[in-house]
């Protein structure tokens, strides 16, 4: 299957390891992966901060870049939710933009959706002998309704012990520009989240969104907790040989 | 006399900074919201058709709002027919003048009130006070707020920010005839409030109420409450004046069925609220006035995205699940409508010319918990994003977002920016300057990698 990767601007710029993990994981599962180099950003930051015009421009760019692919895979629940849930609201009904969005949006998948719903695999042949807890992230949970897909994938990872995270469904306080516009509340939410993570005794916090992990991980490091953050793709890409 | 919201200082981020530091407030809020949240989840879970009920609630409200003009006229005719008098109030000033004149006409200088958010919204108590009329709140939580010279901070539990020992202090300080050995035991506090209020009910000739619902076909008003104080207010006095927002309308008696299930479950986490009072027009020997309040509502109705806020039935489910409300507290929103619904309703009703109102659409991480909990399916995140596009933006932010947009609009520009960042990766300070210091105050920055993904791809795949 020919798959286009939408790596997302945050991953591309700050977390290239996640992109590389997606490439190796999907190739291991027999996919022919392509990275359309003209891709940039889904426009979520602009739209959600009130810069609709710039956001619409980026959305148009996205639909042009990814037109014609069978499947577009993004290692981000948040960016996938932006395309699938918010894009249709950005274009005038009946317009060319709306048609382009209707064409592309349903074929955009978050990684765990693509693995389970499209490739029909739950055991990706990974090995990761660590105690891991999973934070579902709001847009994965309530935007995409990923449900237990990530947990099903993680439970099939050999050596991995998945421990439940208390209050998992609560927002970590990142929220894009919210973290900078409302720093006091964002930090308080982040602190409560890291306390819950510490209570699990996990070595690794996993999520399907590096932007949330950047906020939680930054808080965990500042507090010198020793807990690592890893994107779901990186754990699923891990193998015995790679350890 | 409880304080007034108008002229409250500070933007939401400023107001919430203090709240976050207040450990007693944080503890009170967390305990209360999580208790109600759990109760709500359990009684909502009992209904197999909750999503259908929710869809029905949304559909009935949308239908009513689309035909509001017609149903309001039907309501007016039905209320008049039943011996009541209907008054139309365009804004707060007009509503306050109507109510003040009605009270003055009775010759009374004291009124009792059953909790009404509409009268808080128009600051009726202050308007009455200016004419020498004292309004006494009779809802227990509202009474605590009033005696404490405080602001309500929650839709359902206006004194949620207070714990029982704080309430004991307020009662000792402000209630005459309270014995010094009053404990902070809830039954003891309730008994003190009961004695205090009973005397007021028996003395008052005029009452002012709000309403949860108005039924157009019969002209019936409905109040749902837990204490029975509302019923005392609604039945004992000789004159009853109800001030109700025009969006509280339902077309028919039958429509109530849906909302009498949705509201108690969403608000108090109960299958049914203890007291449901309904009245139609005036009974013999009593006078009834209905003041229909617009105060910005028809403007909200004209907004295609924002109008869904008028579906709100003031249940407070969105507050109880909101992680921002839980940390920031209700006062940070500077309005009688706090929490997620307040963040979309207040800037629509009041406009965004003040710093506080302009900051409200940003008082959310867009986590979506409010939308999921809302019994009439108001897509609060959607309205927040829409309002953010209309809100004023700081010049520096505008410039930054423009530059970011320019870079992100072309992959070669993005690649050049990434390489520039890579070159200075070792020079990035641990603490960032300007508004970005908000990030580094409490979190470490991620390290800028040696190579972006796209450069890695180009090097490995394109070769």
Residues ≥6 apart with Cβ < 8 Å to B345: B300, B309, B312, B337
**Could you tell me which of A45, A83, A37 has the C-alpha nearest to residue B411?**
A37
Provide, as residue numbers in chain A, all residues whose Cβ is less than 8 Å from the Cβ of B460. Answer: none
Structure confidence at residue B431 (pLDDT):
87
CATH numeric code, B12-163+205-298: 3.40.50.10420
Between chains, do B401 and A49 touch, taking CB under 8 Å as contact? yes
Is it the case that residue A149 has pLDDT exceeding 90?
A: yes
Between chains, do A175 and B421 touch, taking CB under 8 Å as contact? no
B433 band by pLDDT with thresholds 50, 70 and 90: confident
Please identify which residue in the block is written with the tokens 């009452």: B207
Q: Which of B17, B389, B453 sits opposite A184 (nearest CB)?
A: B17
Provide, as residue numbers in chain B, all residues whose Cβ is less than 8 Å from the Cβ of A50. Answer: 361, 385, 388-391, 393
Name the average pLDDT for chain B.
95
- How far is residue B112's CA from residue B197's CA, in Å, rounded to a whole number? 9
- How far is residue A55's CA from residue B386's CA, in Å, rounded to a whole number? 13
Q: How many CA atoms lie within 13 A of B154 on its CB side?
A: 30
- How far is residue B435's CA from residue B85's CA, in Å, rounded to a whole number? 55
Q: Residue ranges per domain, chain A? A: 2-118, 131-237
CA distance B372 to chain A (A): 8
**Could you tell me which of A192, A195, A135, A123 has the C-alpha nearest to residue A162?**
A135
- How far is residue B394's CA from residue B190's CA, in Å, rounded to a whole number? 49
Structure confidence at residue B284 (pLDDT):
87
**Could you tell me which of A119, A108, A146 has the C-alpha nearest to residue A232?**
A146
Residues ≥6 apart with Cβ < 8 Å to B218: B78, B253, B280
Element (H, E) at B214: strand B213-215
Q: Which of the residue ranges B112-121, B164-173, B379-388, B423-432 would you say has the lowest mean pLDDT?
A: B423-432
CB B12 within 8 A of CB A182: yes
Between chains, do B388 and A50 touch, taking CB under 8 Å as contact? yes
Q: Which of B12, B408, B446 sits opposite A218 (nearest CB)?
A: B446
Supply the ipTM of this predicted assembly.
Answer: 0.97
Between chains, do B442 and A183 touch, taking CB under 8 Å as contact? yes
Q: Which pTM does this prediction carry?
A: 0.96
Between chains, do A9 and B458 touch, taking CB under 8 Å as contact? no
Provide, as residue numbers in chain B, all residues whose Cβ is less than 8 Å from the Cβ of A169. Answer: 369
Is it the case that residue A232 has pLDDT exceeding 50?
A: yes
Chain A residue whose CA is closest to B365 = A175
Tell me the pLDDT tens digit for each residue of B202-227: 999 999 999 999 999 999 999 999 99
CB B288 within 8 A of CB B281: yes
- How far is residue B459's CA from residue B463's CA, in Å, rounded to a whole number? 6
Mutate to test the interface with B, among A81, A183, A189, A193 (most CBs of B within 10 A): A183
Between chains, do B365 and A215 touch, taking CB under 8 Å as contact? no
Name the average pLDDT for chain A.
97
Provide, as residue numbers in chain B, all residues whose Cβ is less than 8 Å from the Cβ of A141. Answer: 368
Mutate to test the interface with B, among A43, A62, A188 (most CBs of B within 10 A): A188
Provide, as residue numbers in chain A, all residues whose Cβ is less than 8 Å from the Cβ of B328. Answer: 185
Is it the case that residue B411 has pLDDT exceeding 70?
A: yes
Q: Which two tokens stand for residue A153?
A: 């994938």
* DSSP string across B11-77: -HHHHHHHHHH-HHHHHHHHHHHHHHHHHHHHHHHT-TTHHHHHHHHHHHHHHHHHTHHHHHHHHHH
CB B5 within 8 A of CB B15: no
Please identify which residue in the block is written with the tokens 């900078």: A180
Please give the sequence-ordered ranges of beta strands (E in DSSP) within A6-130, or none if there are none. 32-34, 71-74, 108-110
Q: How many CA atoms lie within 13 A of B176 on its CB side?
A: 2
CATH architecture of residue range(s) A131-237: 3-Layer(aba) Sandwich (3.40)
CA distance A242 to chain B (A): 19
Tell me the pLDDT tens digit for each residue of B196-208: 999 999 999 999 9
| CA angle, residues B21, B29, B353, in degrees to nearest 5 | 70
- How far is residue B331's CA from residue B153's CA, in Å, rounded to a whole number? 5
Please give the sequence-ordered ranges of beta strands (E in DSSP) within B90-205, or none if there are none. 110-113, 134-137
Between chains, do B16 and A14 touch, taking CB under 8 Å as contact? no
Residues ≥6 apart with Cβ < 8 Å to B462: none
The percentage of chain B sitting over the pLDDT mark of 90, rounded to a whole number, equals: 90
Mutate to test the interface with B, among A16, A55, A214 (most CBs of B within 10 A): A16
Provide, as residue numbers in chain A, all residues whose Cβ is less than 8 Å from the Cβ of B20. Answer: 184-185, 187-188
Q: Which two tokens stand for residue B319?
A: 């507050």
Between chains, do B323 and A40 touch, taking CB under 8 Å as contact? no
Provide, as residue numbers in chain A, all residues whose Cβ is less than 8 Å from the Cβ of B458. Answer: 37
Mutate to test the interface with B, among A35, A50, A177 (most CBs of B within 10 A): A50
CA distance A223 to chain B (A): 8
Q: Which of A23, A185, A214 sits opposite B327 (nearest CB)?
A: A185
Between chains, do A142 and B368 touch, taking CB under 8 Å as contact? yes
Bridge partners, residue A73, by sequence: A5, A109
What 8-state DSSP symbol labels residue B255? G
CA terminus-to-terminus distance, chain B:
77
Tell me the pLDDT tens digit for each residue of A63-84: 999 998 999 999 999 999 999 9
**Could you tell me which of B375, B147, B358, B151 has the C-alpha nearest to residue B260?**
B375
Give the distance from CA B74 to its chain's centroid: 28
Structure confidence at residue B1 (pLDDT):
44
Between chains, do A48 and B410 touch, taking CB under 8 Å as contact? no
Q: Residue ranges per domain, chain B? A: 12-163+205-298, 397-462
A142 band by pLDDT with thresholds 50, 70 and 90: very high
Read off the pLDDT of each residue in B282-294 and give the average, rounded to a whole number: 95
Buried b (16+ CB within 10 A) or exposed e, B65-97: beebeebbebbbebbeebebbbbebeebebbbe
H helices then E strands: how many in chain A?
Answer: 14, 8
Between chains, do B454 and A139 touch, taking CB under 8 Å as contact? no
Between chains, do B388 and A175 touch, taking CB under 8 Å as contact? no
B288 band by pLDDT with thresholds 50, 70 and 90: very high
Q: Which of A13, A61, A177 sits opposite B452 (nearest CB)?
A: A13
Read off the pLDDT of each residue in A201-225 and give the average, rounded to a whole number: 97
What 8-state DSSP symbol labels residue B85? E
Between chains, do A185 and B20 touch, taking CB under 8 Å as contact? yes
Structure confidence at residue A240 (pLDDT):
87
* DSSP string across B38-57: HHHHHHHHT-TTHHHHHHHH
Between chains, do A143 and B364 touch, taking CB under 8 Å as contact? no
- How far is residue A173's CA from residue A175's CA, in Å, rounded to a whole number? 6
CB A133 within 8 A of CB A164: yes
Angle, to 10 degrees, between the axis of helix B164-174 and the axis of helix B140-147?
60
The CA distances from residue B420 to A40, B426, B458, in Å, are: 16, 12, 17
Chain A residue whose CA is closest to B434 = A180
Is it the case that residue B74 has pLDDT exceeding 60?
A: yes
What SS3 class is residue A92?
coil
Structure confidence at residue B463 (pLDDT):
55
Is it the case that residue B237 has pLDDT exceeding 80?
A: yes
3-state helix, strand, coil in chain A (%, to 5): 55, 15, 35
Q: Which of A35, A182, A219 sits opposite B16 (nearest CB)?
A: A182
The CA distances from residue B107 to A73, B131, B327, in Å, are: 73, 12, 46
CA distance B295 to chain A (A): 26
Between chains, do B443 and A219 touch, taking CB under 8 Å as contact? yes
């Amino acid at each position: 299957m020919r798959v286009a990767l939408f790596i997302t601007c945050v991953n591309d710029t700050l977390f290239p390891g996640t992109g590389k993990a997606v490439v190796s994981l999907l190739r291991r599962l027999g996919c022919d992966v392509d990275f359309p180099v003209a891709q940039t950003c889904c426009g979520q930051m602009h739209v959600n901060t009130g810069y609709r015009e710039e956001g619409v421009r980026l959305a148009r760019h996205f639909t042009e870049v990814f037109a014609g692919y069978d499947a577009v895979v993004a290692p981000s629940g948040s960016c996938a939710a932006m395309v699938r849930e918010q894009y249709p609201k950005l274009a005038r009904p009946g317009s060319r933009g709306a048609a382009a969005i209707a064409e592309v949006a349903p074929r955009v998948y978050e990684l765990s959706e693509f693995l389970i719903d499209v490739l029909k695999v739950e055991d990706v042949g990974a090995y990761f002998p660590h105690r891991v807890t999973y934070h579902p992230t709001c847009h994965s949970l309530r935007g995409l309704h990923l449900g237990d897909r990530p947990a099903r994938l993680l439970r099939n990872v050999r050596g991995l012990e998945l421990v439940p995270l208390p209050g998992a469904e609560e927002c970590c306080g990142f929220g894009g520009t919210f973290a900078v516009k409302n720093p006091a509340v964002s930090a308080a939410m982040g602190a409560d989240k890291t306390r819950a993570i510490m209570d699990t005794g996990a070595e690794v916090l996993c999520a399907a969104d590096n932007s949330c992990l950047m906020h939680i991980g930054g808080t965990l490091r500042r507090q010198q907790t020793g807990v690592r953050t890893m994107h779901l793709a990186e754990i699923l890409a891990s193998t015995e040989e790679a350890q | 006399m409880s304080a007034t919201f108008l002229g409250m200082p500070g933007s939401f981020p400023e107001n919430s900074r203090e709240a976050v530091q207040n450990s007693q407030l944080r503890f009170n809020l967390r305990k209360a919201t999580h208790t109600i949240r759990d109760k709500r989840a359990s009684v909502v879970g009992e209904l197999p058709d909750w999503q259908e009920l929710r869809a029905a609630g949304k559909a009935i409200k949308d239908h009513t709002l689309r035909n509001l003009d017609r149903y309001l006229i039907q309501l007016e005719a039905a209320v008049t027919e039943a011996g009541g008098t209907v008054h139309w109030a365009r804004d707060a000033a007009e509503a306050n003048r109507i109510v003040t004149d009605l009270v003055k006409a009775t010759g009374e200088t004291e009124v009792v009130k059953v909790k009404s958010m509409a009268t808080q919204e128009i600051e009726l108590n202050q308007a009455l006070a200016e004419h020498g009329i004292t309004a006494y709140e009779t809802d227990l939580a509202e009474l605590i707020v009033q005696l404490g010279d405080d602001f309500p901070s929650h839709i359902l539990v206006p004194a949620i920010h207070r714990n029982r020992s704080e309430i004991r202090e307020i009662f000792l300080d402000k209630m005459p005839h309270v014995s010094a050995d009053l404990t902070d035991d809830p039954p003891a506090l309730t008994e003190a409030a009961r004695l205090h209020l009973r005397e007021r009910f028996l003395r008052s000739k005029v009452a002012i109420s709000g309403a949860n619902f108005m039924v157009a076909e019969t002209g019936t008003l409905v109040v749902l409450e837990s204490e029975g104080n509302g019923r005392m207010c609604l039945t004992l006095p000789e004159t009853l004046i109800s001030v109700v927002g025009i969006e509280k309308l339902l077309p028919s008696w039958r429509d109530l069925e849906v909302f009498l299930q949705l509201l108690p479950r969403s608000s108090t986490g109960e299958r049914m609220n203890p007291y449901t009072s309904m009245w139609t027009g005036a009974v013999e020997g009593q006078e009834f006035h209905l003041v229909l309040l617009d105060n910005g509502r028809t403007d909200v109705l004209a907004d295609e995205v924002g109008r869904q806020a008028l579906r709100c039935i003031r249940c407070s489910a969105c507050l109880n699940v909101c992680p921002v409300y839980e940390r920031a507290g209700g006062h940070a929103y500077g309005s009688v409508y706090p929490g997620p619904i307040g963040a979309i309703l207040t800037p629509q009703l009041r406009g965004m010319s003040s710093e506080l109102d302009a900051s409200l659409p940003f008082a959310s991480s867009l986590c979506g918990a409010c939308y999921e909990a809302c019994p009439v399916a108001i897509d609060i995140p959607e309205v927040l994003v829409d309002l953010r596009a209309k809100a004023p933006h700081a010049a520096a932010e505008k410039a930054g977002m423009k530059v970011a947009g320019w870079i992100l609009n072309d992959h070669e520009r993005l690649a050049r920016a990434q390489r520039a960042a890579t070159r200075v990766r070792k020079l990035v300070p641990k603490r960032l300057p300007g508004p970005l210091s908000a990030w580094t105050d409490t979190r470490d920055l991620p390290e800028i990698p040696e190579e972006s993904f796209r450069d890695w791809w180009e090097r490995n795949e394109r070769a």
